[in-house]
Amino acid sequence: MNFRRGKTREDPEINLIPFIDVLLVILIFLMVSTTYSKFTELQITLPTADAEKAVERPFEINVAVDSQGRYAVNNVQVAFRDARGLAEELRNAGNRKGDSKKDPIVIISADGTATHQSVINVLEAARLAGFERITFAAQSAGSGK
């Protein structure tokens, strides 16, 4: 029922001028607060090595660990009993392969799916054998090996 006979009801309209002003302010805010990836990159200048290649190759003991936790010292598979047994195998490999006066480098080549404990066993065995120079072998991402 329309009790106001002379007045017709006007449809509401959205006033576009304030709406455009608010959108422009939001746009300016987003443009100013946006960070660009160009500015977030670290600018690093890597050092270059001018050292000559070593003439004499250091004495190495290679220890391989596969995904099942089997060990091989210098490509000879060894039975793992405990870290002390593996340390004895490392000492024997050091005495067989080279000069006992040199401090060998123990290179650990572990499979990517080998357990953490199997790698720790090699580290513990190297410590018990008295070898202080230990490194890990890795392959580059580009090689398909």
Q: What is the pLDDT of residue 78?
A: 85
Q: What is the pLDDT of residue 99?
A: 55
Residue 60: other Cβ atoms inside 10 A: 16
Per the CB < 8 A criterion, the answer to whether 113 and 67 are in contact is yes
* DSSP one-letter code for 100: T
Question: What's the token pair of residue 123?
Answer: 């580290």
Q: What is the pLDDT of residue 115?
A: 87
Q: Which residues are within 8 A (CB) of 64 and not within 5 positions of it... i.e. 6 or more apart?
A: 71, 72, 75, 109, 110
Would you state the torsion angle of the CA atoms of residues 110, 115, 121, 123, taken in this order, to the nearest 10 degrees?
A: 50
Q: What is the pLDDT of residue 23?
A: 95
Fold topology of 60-136? Nucleotidyltransferase; domain 5 (3.30.420)
Q: Which residues are within 8 A (CB) of 110 and not within 5 positions of it... i.e. 6 or more apart?
A: 64, 65, 118, 119, 122, 136
pTM of the predicted protein model: 0.56
Beta strand extents in 25-139 (DSSP E only): 60-65, 71-73, 76-78, 105-110, 133-136
In tens digits, the chain (145 residues) has pLDDT values of: 556 666 677 778 888 999 999 999 999 999 888 766 555 455 556 566 566 666 677 788 888 888 888 888 888 888 888 888 898 888 888 877 555 556 788 988 888 888 889 889 999 999 998 888 898 887 765 544 4
Per the CB < 8 A criterion, the answer to whether 107 and 63 are in contact is yes
Q: What is the pLDDT of residue 93?
A: 84
Per domain, the residue ranges of the chain are 60-136
